[in-house]
Structure 1
Amino acid sequence: MPDHATPPWLYLASQSPRRRQLLDQLGVSHRLLLPDAHEDAEALEAERAGESPEDYVQRVTFAKWEAARERRVRRQAEVGHDWVDAPILCADTTVALGDQILAKPVDDADAARMLGLLSGRTHRVLTAVVVHGQLRLSTSHVTWRTLEADEIRRYVASGEPMGKAGAYAIQGRSGAWTQHIDGSYSGIMGLPLFETAELLKPLGWSF
C-alpha cells in the first residue's frame, strides 16, 4: 500500500498510558476514543460461566472494539465533516492461572490474594488486539519466585496493583520477582508490538 494511503493516526479505545507508550514506540500517531459517560465499560468485562481465559479476553476485546466503533459513529454524526474516519485499535489483557481468570483487583485484600496465588508459580498473560475488525492474541508465560508476605503487603500498599489484571505491572516493582518470561514483554505490558504491527501493516503502516 502506498505511503499516502496510511491513515494520519488511529483511534485508541483505551485509557492505558502503557498502550500509548507502546504505540509511540512503534511511531504510530493516535488519539483517544474513550467511553462516553453513559457507557458501562466495566460491564463488558463480566466473566461468563465456563469460559476459558483465551475465549474471555478475545470476546471482551472484540466487544470493546464494537462499542468504540459505535462511539465513533455517534461522534462523527455530532462533529460532521471535521471528523477523520481513522481505524480503531482496542486491546485487553488478562492474567490466568490454569483456567482461573485473575482480573483487576477490587480492593487491597483481593490484590494480596492474587499475588499470593501467583507467588512461586508460572502463569499466563493473554492480550488480545483488534484493529479494523481483525483480532490477534498474544500469550506469554511468566514465572515468579516465591514471595514473602511482607513483600506482598508492601507492594499492595504502593497502590501499583490496582487497575491491573493479575494485580501487578511487569514494568513496575514486580519485575524484581520475575524469574523467566516466555513470550512478549510488550504483550504483558498490555499491547503486543508484533501482533499490533501485523494488524496495522495492511492499513498502510510500515515498520
Structure 2
Amino acid sequence: MPITHLLLASNSPRRRQLLTELGLPYEIRLKEVDEEFPPHLRRAEVAEFLAARKAAAYREELAANEVILTADTIVCLDEDVLNKPADAAEAIQMLTRLQGRTHDVFTGVCLLTSDGRQVVFSDQTRVTFRPLSLAEIEFYVKKYQPLDKAGAYGAQDWIGMVGVTRLEGSYFNVMGLPVHRVWEELEQLLGEDFVGLVGRK
C-alpha cells in the first residue's frame, strides 16, 4: 500500500508552521512520551535518541499508508544539554549562561513507517548571542514566557532579533525542524510515494 499520510507527533506550533509552509499535508497525532535519556549520550546523540524514542511509541498503531515524523530539539552549551526550563528562574539562568557566547542547537528527527522502515538523523546549527543585560533577559522571559523552548529562547522571538549576532547552519533547525533535511529524507525513504504524499490535499 502506498504511503499517503504524513503524521506529525509534535505539539510545537513552530514545527506545524514549518511543515505547512513546506507544503507537506500532515495530520497531528499526540501522546505523552518519556523524554529522559541515558547520561552517556552527548549532543546530537541525545536529540536523535529522543526522536527515535518518540517514534517507537507509535510503531504498533501506524496504518500501512502512514509515515510518522517525530523530532526533538536541544540546546548545548559545550557538553551541557539545556532542555526546556522548569520555570522563569531557570529560564533566566539558562539565558544568562548563553549570553555573550556561542552554543549549538541540535534537532533530531525520526521518520517511521508501519513496515519498519526508519530513518533517524539530526542537524546542527551554531548560534552566537551578543552580551545581554540581566534587564533584557528578564524582560524577554516575562513577556514571552519561553518555558516551552529548549534553552529558554526562540530565535524567531524578540530575543533572537536583538541578541543573535551570528548563525551558522539552518535557521529553521533552530526553530525546531531542519526542513531541508526532512524533505530530502522523506523523498529518499518513500521513493515514488513521495510525489503522492506531497500532492495530497
User: Normalising TM by the smaller chain, what interval?
Assistant: 0.7 to 0.9
Displacement of 1:68 after TM fit? 2.4
Separation (CA, whole Å) in 2 of partners of 1:201 and 1:94: 25
Are residues 1:200 and 2:186 paired? yes
Greater helix share, 1 or 2?
1
Separation (CA, whole Å) in 1 of partners of 2:170 and 2:121: 13
Asked if the contact 1:140–1:182 (Cα under 8 Å) also holds between the matched residues in 2, the reply is yes
Asked if the contact 1:57–1:126 (Cα under 8 Å) also holds between the matched residues in 2, the reply is yes
Q: Gapped runs of 5+ residues in structure 2?
A: 113-117
Asked if the contact 2:5–2:65 (Cα under 8 Å) also holds between the matched residues in 1, the reply is no
Aligned residues: 187
Separation (CA, whole Å) in 1 of partners of 2:68 and 2:167: 29
Q: Gapped runs of 5+ residues in structure 1?
A: 77-83
Counterpart residue number, 1:140: 125
Q: Secondary structure at the match of 1:87?
A: strand
Q: Secondary structure at the match of 1:129?
A: strand
Counterpart residue number, 1:14: 10
Separation (CA, whole Å) in 2 of partners of 1:128 and 1:185: 15
Asked if the contact 1:9–1:28 (Cα under 8 Å) also holds between the matched residues in 2, the reply is no
Counterpart residue number, 2:107: 127
Separation (CA, whole Å) in 2 of partners of 1:154 and 1:68: 39
TM-score of the two chains, using structure 2 as the length reference: 0.87
Q: Secondary structure at the match of 2:76?
A: strand
TM-score of the two chains, using structure 1 as the length reference: 0.85
Counterpart residue number, 1:80: none
Separation (CA, whole Å) in 1 of partners of 2:12 and 2:110: 15
Separation (CA, whole Å) in 2 of partners of 1:189 and 1:160: 16
Separation (CA, whole Å) in 1 of partners of 2:70 and 2:157: 23
**What is the CA deviation profile of residues 116-141 of structure 1, one whole-angstrom value per residue up to 9, with x for unaligned ones?**
00000000000011112101210000
Separation (CA, whole Å) in 2 of partners of 1:66 and 1:173: 36
Q: Which one-letter code corresponds to 2:49 in the other structure?
A: R
Pick aligned residue for 2:21 from 25, 28, 53: 25
Matches within 5 A, 1:55-204: 55-70=45-60, 72-73=61-62, 85-132=65-112, 133-175=118-160, 176-202=162-188, 203=190, 204=193
Separation (CA, whole Å) in 1 of partners of 2:4 and 2:10: 19
Separation (CA, whole Å) in 2 of partners of 1:135 and 1:47: 16
